[in-house]
Amino acid sequence: MAPFPFFDHDAVVAALDYPGCIAAVREAMRRFSVEGVDQPLRQIVETAPGKLFALMPGGLGGGEAFGAKVITAFADPARAGRSAHRGVAILFDPASGAVAAIGDAAAITDIRTACASAVATGALARADATTLGLFGCGALAASHLRALALVRPLSEVRVWGRDAARVAAFVTREATATGLPLRAAGDPREAAACDIVTTVTGAATPILLGEWVREGAHVNIVGSSHAGPVEVDTALVARSRYIADSRRSALAAAAEFLVAKAAGAVGDDHIAGEIGEVLAGMVPGRESARQVTLYKSLGHVVQDLAALRYLVGR
């Protein structure tokens, strides 16, 4: 047997509980911004059309551990516009340099990404936010349901997707599994008219427009993790208080921001701060009840390492 724990997909799903992962990701992002340690940008190689190979190296705050996530994102023939993510996250011991743990990257990513959005929603959404508009009906949509319900009491969840049959199946399945009040939205405008709006789609062009989002909403933009695909339009980027997980990453790869910048609608200073800076009180989060706040999730390896270390601790 390997001298380190290996968490396969089922082991991650069984042991990586949402409250614990939210706490781990919250602390990791706070320390990431406070300590300001230089972290490499993710490296993405297109091995063939529709086939990406990515390496995400980095370290946790305080030199407590370091590691990497190594994944592929290949187009999924069964789901047009979506990719199948496969790979591993590796945690190393900082004292010995030995491998401390390995975990299934797809399962860790699904959960930690949702938990990062929950951290941002908890910090940026209005305290009285109760309705969720969810764009997408895949694995990330399911994990976001579970995570967001832990930071705001959801009185209604409106789900919209480009495939009505898949949306209907998702609503039925997840309403039963979570007990949350889900319903299919017949129109994207209906899903957009909520207190919290979250996009977890594979859309290449905007499926959420700024004119649909009402005052005081909080928006999580999650589906696009590299320059190219955009889920929201420039109007939404420009009207929002824009918070990133990593400023450096956003300037390099936040597709919606880069499109808005190229159009002359925003400059680099439109990125108001990192979520870790908001958590640490270094940068204000929401400034008024009417302000639209936006969290851009590109995903950062410190989230994966924090989740994997939490798994080892459990």
Quick one: CA dihedral 190, 192, 195, 196, positive or negative?
A: positive
Q: At what angle do helices 18-35 and 105-124 cross, to 10 degrees?
A: 70
pLDDT given for residue 78 in this prediction: 63
pLDDT at 100 over 80: yes
> Phi then psi for 204, rounded to 5 degrees?
-90, -20
Side-chain-facing half-sphere of 15: CA atoms under 13 Å: 19
- Separation between Cα atoms, residue 121 and residue 124, nearest integer Å: 5
Residue scoring higher pLDDT (104 or 44): 104
pLDDT at 46 over 60: yes
Instruction: With 0.75 as the threshold, say if the pTM is over it.
Output: yes
Quick one: CA dihedral 46, 113, 181, 14, positive or negative?
A: positive
Q: Quick one: pLDDT band at residue 2, thresholds 50, 70, 90?
A: low
- Separation between Cα atoms, residue 215 and residue 292, nearest integer Å: 6
pLDDT given for residue 1 in this prediction: 47
Residue 1 identity (one-letter amino acid): M
pLDDT at 145 over 60: yes
pLDDT at 79 over 80: no
By C-alpha distance, which of 2, 44, 16 is closest to 307? 16
> Phi then psi for 31, rounded to 5 degrees?
-70, -35
Longest dimension (CA), the chain: 56
The Cα-based distances of 235 to 107, 118, 209 in angstroms read 33, 24, 7
